[in-house]
Amino acid sequence: MPKVPPPVYVAVGLAAQHLLARGRRPTVVRSVAAGLLAAGSVCVAGGAARAFKHKDTTFNPLEPEGATAVVTEGPFRYTRNPMYVGMAGLLTAHAVLRGGWLPLVPVAAFVAVIDRTQIPAEEQALSWSFGDAYDSYRSAAPRWLGPRRGPRTSSAGG
């Protein structure tokens, strides 16, 4: 299991974006677009936090084995990883604010690292803990974003 908290990757990405777009000043249009994207990203991540709290389960990504329920409500209906979608959205919003293509590189790096290290470890732990309930949800909801596949799952877990 990775031992780097995902928000650390976000902080590194923000610093890299700042360096990659040094000297660029935000325009009004980029500021508004970035603000809207950031607000939406915070809503997605906040909705995930509320759903975790509603199910009274952990959302510590470094200890997924501590989860007591499979959460499928709120933004989890559209993505298995709304917290990471929210973090990627915040990085994207900052890239828009900074302007240019180079600030998007840390967004791609964040998604790649999370997708290849953090998420597989979490999925393995959740599959081990919840078996068919999690596996059914995993087969129905996309890892990042996209249409649901198969029957809708409303709730599972203990």
Please, are residues 152 and 139 in contact by the beta-carbon 8 Å criterion?
no
Q: What's the pLDDT at 149?
A: 75
> Average pLDDT, stretch 63-86?
94
Model pTM? 0.89
| CA angle 2–154–83, rounded 5-degree value | 30
The residue that leads in pLDDT, 48 or 150, is: 48
Burial class (CB in 10 A: 0-12, 13-18, 19+), 117: middle
* Residue 41, pLDDT above cutoff 90: yes
* Residue 63, pLDDT above cutoff 90: no
The residue that leads in pLDDT, 61 or 106, is: 106
